[in-house]
Amino acid sequence: MSAVQVARTVDAKGLSCPMPIVKTAQAIKEMPSGALLEVIATDPGSTKDFVAWAKSTGNELVEQSADGGVFRFILRKK
């Protein structure tokens, strides 16, 4: 995993659909354009959700990784 500098982290571990995305959308709303948001989730369905959400909203999914059931996403606010 990279050590990129993020402005904010959303801990969505243990949350099931739709909460990881809802918490992400809430957080990114409050961030300035270009800022990086890190989200950590354990919901297995979240991988596809984040790809779809990024594509639909225009916020770039910069990076994603998985490590033993824990998924990490880095998003850049458009």
Partner 1 sequence: MSDTINLVLFSGTDDKLQVASVLTAGAAALGKRVNIFLQYWALDAFRADRIDADHGLAPEAGPAGRAAVDALRAAGQASWKETLVQAKELGEVDIQACSLSMDLLHIEQSDLDPIVDGVEGVTAFYLNADDGEIVFI
Catalytic-labelled residue, pool 17, 22, 66, 70: 17
Q: Does residue 42 bind partner 1 (CB under 8 A)?
A: no
At 44, phi and psi to the nearest 5?
A: -60, -30
The candidate with the shortest Cα–Cα distance to 39, out of 55, 56, 53, is: 53
Q: Does residue 30 bind partner 1 (CB under 8 A)?
A: no
- Tokens at 35, concatenated: 């800022």
Plot region of 25 (φ>0 → left; ψ -120 to 50 → alpha; else → beta): alpha
Q: Does residue 31 bind partner 1 (CB under 8 A)?
A: no
Q: How far is CA 28 from the centre of its chain?
A: 9
Q: Does residue 36 bind partner 1 (CB under 8 A)?
A: no
1-9, 31-39, 50-58, 70-78 -> range binding partner 1 (CB under 8 A): 50-58
Q: Which residues are catalytic?
A: 17
Binding site for partner 1 (CB under 8 A): 14-19, 21-22, 24-26, 29, 53, 56-57
